[in-house]
Amino acid sequence: MDPSLADLRSRFVSGATLPFHARRDALLKLKRSLRAHEERLLDAMRTDMRKPRTEAFISDIGLVHGAIDHALVELKQWMRPRRVPTPLALQVASSVVLQRPNGVVLIIAPWNYPVLLVLSPLVAALAAGNCAVLKPSEDAPATAEVIAALIRSALEPSLVQVVLGPGSTVVPALMGSFRFDHVFFTGSAPVGKRILELAAPQLVPVTLELGGKSPAIIDDTADVERAALRVAWSKCFNAGQTCIATDHVLVHAAVKDRFLQALRKRLIEFYGSEAQRSPHLARMIHARRFETVRAYLDQGEVWHGGQHDADDRFIAPTVLLSTPLDAPVMREEIFGPVLPVLSWSDRGELREVIARNPQPLAAYLFSSDRGMQRWFSQELDFGGGCINHCLLHFGSPHLPFGGVGRSGMGRYHGHAGFDLFSNSKGLVHASTLIEPGLQYPPYTSFKERVLRWVLR
């Protein structure tokens, strides 16, 4: 075991992370360091993927500040023991739920939001009283280096450590040499399966934040202009490299033409007629990602966009029509600015298309029909989403965030994140002043009658 990891365990076992003031101070130090490193982080994300500064600040920095502020306001309440009722059969007693931190946790982050998706889980872990190891993505190396500096300047190495290097070698080495108390992974499903395999021998609990093909459904009662505006923003934010981005659009045949025209108008407003010159569009993270997304351009009719440049890792915002349902672009998570648009006419047809890619991380509905909104909310299986917008649910610390089935397991953000990194310990405090004795032998017919009455 790496001696530095042993320091994390020693600190946790000492109880130093348990008091409220220790958790609060760690969060305040993290916030101050984040503020001090903001410009370096923005420059690093620009270097790694040409991420526009405004997008980078909103998503990668602003949301982390919001998560810290929310935790600081709510932390005392989250930590407070929660009294719960005690059944009649267990009287005379009182019952309480206590939250104790898991211990030493491993947080493995992806490259697409390289600040947010490492620091947001860390906020929850620190609020819950844990020590942590952070593994930023090696595919965003400039950002990973700044994160390491940010953590070193804010928090003691016995509380939080950052490990750099290729995930394919670093993560197995970490999990093979040290038993973490929880592993939090954000990334692709294939890598998520590998994380589960590494955790299984030591029965380490794992949270997986994965992805999927998140649809945007537009019916014939929708505000088409507004739907086009919000879908275009969702699809092209971070050049589509967002796990909850609109992956494809299912639009009612009656409004399809209007939607397409409005979508084209919005894309030109956002990025101009020559999107490669726009400073507002990020690039594919690396050549592999570029080649994967570029191949999708051949799997349908390019109705808008389609330009690309390998040297610049640039792919224009593109709308595809006539995409076969069995084509890779309709089976794989696109993770790029390519948007297939398909039409539907009845709800059965719509359900059939959605069922081909079940349990997405997110789903979006644009509709003014209350019945359609109920059907979407109650009958479709997805992690979370919006009605008449996209992406917004991720930004609320009051809403639990996570996948279902194939798109992940576990929830975080706000109180849900605190609970995720905590052990909910149930305790019954029994009275010693009285002893009902019904549960003890010998079991008489009177005791049985009383117990049957109590327990039914």
Report the alpha-carbon distance of residue 20 to residue 18 in Å, rounded. 7
Report the alpha-carbon distance of residue 49 to residue 115 in Å, rounded. 13
CA proximity to 339, closest of 227, 210, 247:
247
Tokens found for residue 75: 């932390």
Same domain, 371 and 306: yes
Domain count, the chain: 2
pLDDT bucket at 1, cuts 50 / 70 / 90: very low
Q: Residues 389-409: what's their mean pLDDT? A: 95
pLDDT over 90 percentage in the chain = 92
Q: Which of residues 395, 415, 447 is at a domain's end?
A: 395
Same domain, 243 and 362: yes
Q: Quick one: pLDDT at residue 2?
A: 62
- Residue bearing tokens 């993505």: 137
| Higher per-residue confidence, 145 vs 89 | 145
Residue 290 lies in a domain: yes
Residue 354 lies in a domain: yes
Cβ-proximal residues to 31 (8 Å cutoff; 6+ apart), any chain:
65, 68, 69
CA proximity to 36, closest of 152, 162, 135, 157:
152
pLDDT at 353 over 60: yes
Q: What is residue 356's three-state secondary structure?
A: coil
pLDDT at 3 over 80: no
Report the alpha-carbon distance of residue 49 to residue 137 in Å, rounded. 13
> Residue 256: what residue type?
K
Contact at 8 Å (CB) between 224 and 255? yes
Same domain, 319 and 333: yes
CA proximity to 401, closest of 386, 387, 389:
386
Q: How far apart are the first and last CA of the chain?
A: 53
DSSP3 helix / strand / coil % (the chain, rounded to 5): 50, 20, 35
Report the alpha-carbon distance of residue 293 to residue 287 in Å, rounded. 10
| Positions of E strands within 102-181 | 104-108, 131-135, 160-162
Same domain, 61 and 100: yes
Residue 446 lies in a domain: no
Same domain, 163 and 203: yes
Same domain, 202 and 227: no
Same domain, 61 and 197: yes
Q: Quick one: pLDDT at residue 88?
A: 82
Residue 447 lies in a domain: no
Cβ-proximal residues to 259 (8 Å cutoff; 6+ apart), any chain:
218, 224, 227, 228, 249, 251, 341
Same domain, 368 and 231: yes
Same domain, 304 and 259: yes
Q: Quick one: pLDDT at residue 91?
A: 86
Report the alpha-carbon distance of residue 320 to residue 323 in Å, rounded. 7
pTM value > 0.75: yes
Contact at 8 Å (CB) between 353 and 250? yes
- Note the pLDDT tens digit of each residue in 6-42: 999 999 999 999 999 999 999 999 999 999 999 999 9
Residue 439 lies in a domain: no
430 pairs with which residues across the strands?
A: 93
Return the CATH number at 9: 3.40.605.10
Domain that holds residue 358: 215-395
Return the CATH number at 313: 3.40.309.10
DSSP designation for 369: -
Report the alpha-carbon distance of residue 273 to residue 456 in Å, rounded. 72
Same domain, 267 and 168: no
Q: Residues 375-386: what's their mean pLDDT? A: 95
Residue 13 lies in a domain: yes
Known catalytic residue at 209: yes
- Note the pLDDT tens digit of each residue in 181-223: 999 999 999 999 999 999 999 999 999 999 999 999 999 999 9
Q: Which of 38, 55, 209, 333 is catalytic?
A: 209
Q: Which of 3-7, 102-106, 351-355, 359-363 has the lowest mean pLDDT?
A: 3-7
Known catalytic residue at 243: yes
Residue 264 lies in a domain: yes
String of DSSP letters for 320-351: EES--TTSGGGTS---SSEEEEEEESSHHHHH
Residue 287 lies in a domain: yes
Same domain, 380 and 232: yes
Q: Quick one: pLDDT at residue 435?
A: 83
Query: Is the bond leading into 293 cis (omega within 30 degrees of zero)?
Result: no
Same domain, 301 and 334: yes
Q: Which of 38, 131, 236, 243 is catalytic?
A: 243
